[in-house]
Structure 1
Amino acid sequence: MLIAQLSDCHITRPGTLASGRVDTAALLQQAVASVAALDPAPDLVLLTGDLVDSGHPAEYTRLRALLAPLRLPMRLLPGNHDDRAALREAFPEQPWAAEGPFAQWVLDQPQGGSTLRLIGLDTVIPGRPGGMLCRERLDWLADTLAQAPQRPTLLALHHPPLHTGLQEMDGMNLGEGREALAGLLGRHPQVLALLCGHLHRHIHGQLAGVPVIVAPGTAHQIALELRPGQPARFNLEPPGYLLHRWSLADGLVTLGAVTGDWPGPYAF
């Protein structure tokens, strides 16, 4: 199975730029064109939050139009810039879990004689930049994992449960529920990795020994500021996305891709 993970698109209303500077729609078009050109085509496109910039319905209308050329199965998750109700209304065909108010889902994807399970977790706290897993969401995850304890599983969520050294961003990563999530991972070894967004950089870490893989943004990236006390700022280094390749023989392999027009390829 091949999964293309896009994240932090921050689509604005027509005629506006994110932070007054970034044409996020043009950059998402660039990412969509790159994914559409992949051969073989991905089996799934996963979008891990901050789909739009302010949660306005017009932004979701624009997002839907920008994604339309892909013509591939998709699963979406909200981020802290998103509005759950507007997201559900704009994408009613998404298989949102019926239980509770959260924009979550489960996908079982047959592949090569086995089945890979993807679980989408909603970590949003409305009106706040940081994330959490409350008791209701943790219970739902525990029940979902218990349904298929032998099935290889990926968890997708917006807020990474990491301390990265990006000090201001670390203060708005997954807070409440991080330790409980680590406990669940310790009891459910079928979880192969956590696929996250939010940090606008390609970052790898671990929680309870399980890989945590963070996608870059399709638009602007968080500046690499590891000195204590530095504020979170962004720059316009090349945007990108991730490709996750899973097979029974090789397990999970993640490849990074940047978008844009670059010279090559050339023969060695």
Structure 2
Amino acid sequence: MTDIHIGFDREGGDEEANLKRFRQALAHLLHQPELPDMLVLSGDLTDRGDAESFARLVEPLLDLPFPVYPLVGNHDTRETLLETFPNCSSDNGFVHYAIEQAGLRNLCLDTFEPGRHGGAFCEARKNWLSTQLADHSDTPTLIFMHHPPIVSGIDWMDPSPDESWIANFAQAIDGNDQILAIHSGHLHRSLQTSFRGVPLGVTGSIAPAVTLDLRQIDGATPDGRALIADEPPIIAFHRWNGITLVSHQLPVGDWPVLAHYGPELQPQIRGIFSQRE
């Protein structure tokens, strides 16, 4: 999950819309047929990085039956995140760390720079990532980061393609064939692309979505375009079977079920299985 933005409505308290959306997404997650092994929260967990918002964020996480791994986003603060998640690893002031499970190495990166909306990836972070990849060159690896290092076409959310932080990230991952995919947030919109030949997915947000408008935007001329829409929260599911990584994006909602697996559909299911032989 990504871009939760608890505290956007400071007066909302427990009735804040973003907190309700987060709780709804967690309830949806817990009622899936299979529980995940872990939950990654890939940044912008709060809207202002304050302790009160982090406290509200963490309360519905306390009883989850799997570990939670947070990343820092441009709306968060490292210090308060680490106070809220005392078991979260940090290194030289950066919230980046590795998780290894079932033969898959998950690298959680820090792309935050105080006061900056866009991403950052300095020499220290580049060196850390380069070392992690070099030291585990034979282990399949999935990278999580808040800011996607690509131009999506949503002009007001995008970086310039020649920003130095993107070049640093590119240099760190180039030549590392063990990287299966990169997953990020920040854009409040789901998309799939690639970066330096590596599949890259952006997960849609828990908070309301950024509208899909691929026209250029003029900072000097408000044109009345829609920017934010009350679309459903999105959860990404990443399935690793030891060979292949497959990622699904699921909108959260009470959708009508149009078919159940009963005796009337058993012949169709058996027919599908027979064709695998």
TM-score normalised by structure 1 residue count: 0.88
Q: How large is the RMSD of aligned CA atoms in angstroms?
A: 2.2
Encode CA deviations 1:30-50: one digit per residue, 9 max, x unaligned.
000011112221011011000
Encode CA deviations 1:210-240: one digit per residue, 9 max, x unaligned.
0111110012000111112267821101221
The separation in 2 between residues aligned to 1:104 and 1:184, in whole angstroms, is 14
- CA deviation after TM superposition for structure 1 residue 184, in Å: 2.8
The separation in 1 between residues aligned to 2:8 and 2:55, in whole angstroms, is 9
Against the structure 1 CA distance between its residues 187 and 43, is the aligned structure 2 distance closer, same or farther, given a 3 Å change threshold? Answer: same
**Which amino acid letter does the alignment assign opposite residue 74 of structure 1?**
V
The separation in 2 between residues aligned to 1:177 and 1:14, in whole angstroms, is 32
Against the structure 1 CA distance between its residues 73 and 265, is the aligned structure 2 distance closer, same or farther, given a 3 Å change threshold? Answer: farther
- CA deviation after TM superposition for structure 1 residue 265, in Å: 4.5
Larger radius of gyration: 2
**Which amino acid letter does the alignment assign opposite residue 214 of structure 1?**
V
TM-score normalised by structure 2 residue count: 0.86
Which runs of 5 or more structure 2 residues have no equivalent in the other structure? Answer: 219-224, 266-277
Against the structure 1 CA distance between its residues 36 and 173, is the aligned structure 2 distance closer, same or farther, given a 3 Å change threshold? Answer: farther
> 1:221-260 to 2 correspondence within 5 Å?
221-229=209-217, 233-249=227-243, 251-260=244-253
- CA deviation after TM superposition for structure 1 residue 187, in Å: 1.6
Encode CA deviations 1:163-217: one digit per residue, 9 max, x unaligned.
1110111138994321232233222111111110100111111111101111100
Which residue pairs with 1:43 in the alignment?
37
Three-state SS of the structure 1 residue aligned to 2:133 is helix
Which residue pairs with 2:255 in the alignment?
262
Against the structure 1 CA distance between its residues 174 and 106, is the aligned structure 2 distance closer, same or farther, given a 3 Å change threshold? Answer: farther
- CA deviation after TM superposition for structure 1 residue 104, in Å: 1.1
Which residue pairs with 2:98 in the alignment?
106
> 1:174-189 to 2 correspondence within 5 Å?
175-189=163-177
The separation in 2 between residues aligned to 1:130 and 1:206, in whole angstroms, is 19
Encode CA deviations 1:24-68: one digit per residue, 9 max, x unaligned.
000000000011112221011011000001001000100000222
Against the structure 1 CA distance between its residues 265 and 62, is the aligned structure 2 distance closer, same or farther, given a 3 Å change threshold? Answer: farther
> 1:16-95 to 2 correspondence within 5 Å?
16=11, 23-94=17-88
| Paired residues, number | 254
Structure with the larger strand share: 1
Encode CA deviations 1:235-259: one digit per residue, 9 max, x unaligned.
101221110111224x111111111
The separation in 2 between residues aligned to 1:186 and 1:196, in whole angstroms, is 18
The separation in 2 between residues aligned to 1:232 and 1:189, in whole angstroms, is 40
